A and B are shown apart, each in its own frame.
Chain A
């Protein structure tokens, strides 16, 4: 813990400084989304990354926590209860926990496909009931609240998103800290053990079901906290926040970021939030890009972006990282050419009569020249990548082999 103190301080500092840099309404809005999604993705990682439980229905706990939080906001507004807005995430967390205790009591008996299927089934059931029980879930329009009615918190009434950001950042920090600490406890470590080898875990005295159940409850709790933050931030919640799409999205985040690493889901949440809020403004095809990126990640970076960074650990430890910079750059140039060409082709094929502005060029779908330019670009790029690959591979091998030799020498 002591060794990591600088990391945590840096994290806290980043949380404080970021809204000063990205201070537009949009910037704050994106940061707010990130706080929510990071907590949610981390909680998902407790299941899949640390506990080996593949869930297709994690949004249930997020959503239920969120719904109850919005109802709590309304109770506060109606002065039925007196409660500080700042503590609403606890309401969400409690609801997430209760739901997880209930559902986990029968779903954690098995992991693997059985668990995954139960989570899918439960998810669909809850979504369906959310449309049936319109009083609680508000039908397809959801329920709305207002965060400004509670007793002010040191004079802050949370009128502005920026004020909400700091509340979210506080909870993000707390939740991240607790989730990290959880991995350092007997229950957290045994979750890893059960993930790795459930059979052996039983023979060292642990009920795998109980171990999974505890992780499951903790994941539900933090998902609920994220749901509570969602409620404060958006002051409303709808059925879509507990459906399969949201569950799939958090799976995507955790996976793209890297399941095996604590920081992975954070990376994934940041990447996906940015893509979702920025890319969609530039291209109707952004979901296609997202899908392609996801598949490529599964195929070529099975340990996600965090895993990719961690791959360089050996090279780093032996101060050979520098060897890789040039080969990376050399590959990056044709790669970006290829990407530019590829994206251009996709966009152009969807332009119809419109003109595609492309690095100062105006491309039209009915001009063969336009297609030619893009195809050449993509082709040259692909060829360039192919040609530069051997060099990159050699450099990679060199950086790591040398590292191994040095290791051997030390022994």
Chain B
């Protein structure tokens, strides 16, 4: 059985249909990339899966249970974590606090107001481990709003993966990075999604073909193809609809 199942998902804003009858199955452990021209609805699709938007029709199932139209926190608790295209962290809190907050729910702390965080050795160690992984341990006490851009992106990733979610969704994780920064980021993504399921939206085709096991192509709100990287490269419809518009820096 698939880990994530989208069945005839539609989303309209007013009379404009952004996502049209999308069906998709993601297997556990799969690294899946979604590509498509600007405005194709990739981010909207992410928002539908992660609960930021409600679907207009269709269903989304995760581990066999329907999750569409649940609030984001319910979906997050079931094991879907995501990052954002525009850095979306807690700017006035320290880097360490960002990661620790991202860990809290999965570590079972819920809304407790009787436990002192300073005393939770296991939790703090875990947060430091993640900081180590994303290479920010020396900036642990800095307010995260003061980090450099690439570091903020790294933190963005860290916050997304901290909860140890089964499914990780990354929205353009390397957008706006220099080549060397992007390389580091890809290595980081590989490392932290080891053994997890990954869905990724990305414009950089090198990275997409490098990481992904399967690729879906979204054009005007419809998936026109889902296949392995090799087959997608050879798909005529994809060529026609999309590849001509690949950004030049790809």
Instruction: Establish whether A and B are touching in the complex (CB under 8 Å).
Output: yes
A residues near B (Cβ < 8 Å) are 1, 181-182, 184-190, 192-193, 195-197, 199-208, 210-211, 214, 218, 260
Interface residues of chain A: helix, strand, loop or mixed (majority)? helix
| Inter-chain contacts of B180 with A (CB < 8 A) | none
Minimum distance in angstroms from A143 CB to a CB of chain B: 33
A204 touches B163 (CB 8 A): yes
B112 within 8 A of A: yes
The 4 closest A-B pairs by CB, nearest first: A205-B105, A187-B113, A202-B72, A196-B90
| Inter-chain contacts of A188 with B (CB < 8 A) | 113
Minimum distance in angstroms from A144 CB to a CB of chain B: 36
Minimum distance in angstroms from B47 CB to a CB of chain A: 10
Q: Tell me which of A184, A196, A203 contacts B91 (CB under 8 A).
A: A196
| Inter-chain contacts of A181 with B (CB < 8 A) | 116
B114 touches A185 (CB 8 A): yes
Count A-B pairs with CB separation below 8 Å: 102
Minimal Cβ-Cβ distance residue in A for B104 = A186
A199 touches B88 (CB 8 A): yes
| Inter-chain contacts of A204 with B (CB < 8 A) | 76, 81, 101-102, 104-105, 159, 162-163
| Inter-chain contacts of B105 with A (CB < 8 A) | 204-206
Q: List 19 A-B contacts (CB under 8 A).
A: A185-B113, A185-B115, A186-B111, A186-B112, A187-B112, A189-B104, A192-B90, A192-B93, A193-B97, A196-B90, A196-B91, A199-B88, A200-B89, A203-B72, A203-B73, A203-B81, A204-B105, A206-B105, A214-B113
B113 touches A192 (CB 8 A): no
Q: Tell me which of B81, B92, B111, B113 contacts A260 (CB under 8 A).
A: B92
B:135-173 near A, CB below 8 Å: 159, 162-163
How big is chain B's contact interface, by range? Answer: 35 or more
A193 touches B101 (CB 8 A): yes
Minimum distance in angstroms from A181 CB to a CB of chain B: 7
| Inter-chain contacts of A208 with B (CB < 8 A) | 73
B31 within 8 A of A: no
B82 within 8 A of A: yes
Minimal Cβ-Cβ distance residue in B for A196 = B90
Minimal Cβ-Cβ distance residue in A for B159 = A204
| Inter-chain contacts of A206 with B (CB < 8 A) | 73, 104-105, 111
Interface residues of chain B: helix, strand, loop or mixed (majority)? loop
B106 touches A205 (CB 8 A): yes
| Inter-chain contacts of B77 with A (CB < 8 A) | 205
Known: A197-B89, A197-B90. A185 touches B73 (CB 8 A): no
B110 touches A186 (CB 8 A): yes
- The docked-state distance in angstroms from the alpha carbon of A208 to that of B89 is 15
A192 touches B97 (CB 8 A): yes
Most central of A1, A189, A199, A211 by chain B CB within 10 Å: A189
| Inter-chain contacts of B116 with A (CB < 8 A) | 1, 181, 184-185
B117 within 8 A of A: yes
Per-residue CB proximity of B52-82 to A under 8 Å, as 1/0? 1000000000000000000111001100011
B:79-130 near A, CB below 8 Å: 81-82, 84, 88-93, 97, 100-102, 104-106, 109-118
Minimum distance in angstroms from A243 CB to a CB of chain B: 30
| Inter-chain contacts of A185 with B (CB < 8 A) | 112-117
A189 touches B88 (CB 8 A): no
Most central of B73, B88, B118 by chain A CB within 10 Å: B73
- The docked-state distance in angstroms from the alpha carbon of A208 to that of B84 is 18
Known: A185-B113, A186-B109, A211-B111. A192 touches B163 (CB 8 A): no
B50 within 8 A of A: yes
Q: Tell me which of B50, B71, B82, B117 contacts A207 (CB under 8 A).
A: B71
A189 touches B101 (CB 8 A): yes
Known: A184-B117, A189-B97, A192-B97. A207 touches B73 (CB 8 A): yes
| Inter-chain contacts of A207 with B (CB < 8 A) | 71, 73
B111 touches A214 (CB 8 A): yes
Known: A205-B163, A211-B111. A189 touches B117 (CB 8 A): yes
A186 touches B113 (CB 8 A): yes
B111 touches A190 (CB 8 A): yes
Q: A184-B116, A197-B91, A205-B76 provided; 19 other pairs, C-beta below 8 A? A: A185-B116, A186-B111, A187-B112, A187-B113, A189-B104, A190-B111, A196-B90, A197-B88, A202-B72, A202-B76, A204-B101, A205-B73, A205-B104, A205-B105, A206-B105, A206-B111, A207-B73, A208-B73, A214-B113
